[in-house]
Structure 1
Amino acid sequence: MVKRLELAVRSNLDDIVRPAGVTALQYTALTVLERHDGLSAARLARDSFVTAQSMADMVRILERRGLIRRERNPASRRELLIRLTDAGRALLAELAEPVRLLERRMLDDLTARQEEQFRLALSRAWRALS
């Protein structure tokens, strides 16, 4: 059931974000940076649930589009930190309402109590795997 839900959400999310020129996975990485700006590529990959190689490719694409930038970590000159650009923030702002409506559509048939329980269960499951 979890896999079926993931596939349905990803398919619907792809339909929303594709016109903006990003994939659902790229959108996920951007939202991770929105919450925790200045991450290493390895940490961004872990938090986005993709491999380091997939993230390396994604970072190149998003950087070329001007949605993120890489800069040296002042504490560790060898490490590059990934930051969201103003263009990346603008893209997330543009997509916020359509994504919120997708979530609302997914939860519409639930009562307020069921929605609360569902969100709690998802949070616990996410923490268990993170």
Structure 2
Amino acid sequence: MERPSLLYLVKQLELVVRARLDEIVRTGGITALQYTALTVLERHDGLSAAQLARDSFVTAQTMADMVRALESRGLIHRERNPANRRELLIHLTDEGRGLLAQYVKPVRELEEEMTGRLTEAQAAGFRHALIDSWQALASIS
């Protein structure tokens, strides 16, 4: 029997992680995609919608809808970019930071469950392999 391709396995992992993450963050009234966008802002506050879309792996239209939803919930706010008055920069609010703080432990537990059958060295190697693989493909585009 032929082994499944790495691309297939990566997609399977992505799908199960996203489903489990959706279950976790549903209690806060957000989706896994919204959670991802909020965590991007937590690391890099003050992004444009286009930058946030790229870093969150969604289309510009999806991000536009997401920004409206997150802003209406008070999780983010937008303000004019002083360097480019036509551009709005998106910032995480204190309420957004508070919501993310609620999920630190359950998300860490999900990651630990995912890597639970690996040794510490294998988990570190897995992390490095994923980063290297992503960088190899991201540098092409």
TM over 0.5: yes
> Once the 2 structures are TM-superposed, how far is the Cα of residue 19 of structure 1 from its aligned partner?
0.8
Q: TM-score, normalised by structure 2?
A: 0.90
Q: Secondary structure at the match of 2:46?
A: coil
Map residues 1-130 of structure 1 onto 2, 5 A cutoff: 1-130=9-138
- Percent identical pairs in the alignment equals 70
CA distance in 2, matches of 1:126, 1:36: 19
CA distance in 2, matches of 1:129, 1:60: 31
CA distance in 2, matches of 1:114, 1:36: 29
In structure 2, stretches of 5+ residues that fail to align are 1-8
Amino acid at match of 1:117: G
Structure 1 residue runs of 4 or more that deviate by more than 4 Å after TM superposition: none
CA distance in 1, matches of 2:106, 2:131: 22
Amino acid at match of 2:42: E
Length, aligned pairs only? 130
- The worse-fitting range, judged by mean Cα deviation, of 82-91 and 116-125 is 116-125
Kindly name which structure, 1 or 2, has the bigger radius of gyration based on alpha carbons.
Answer: 2
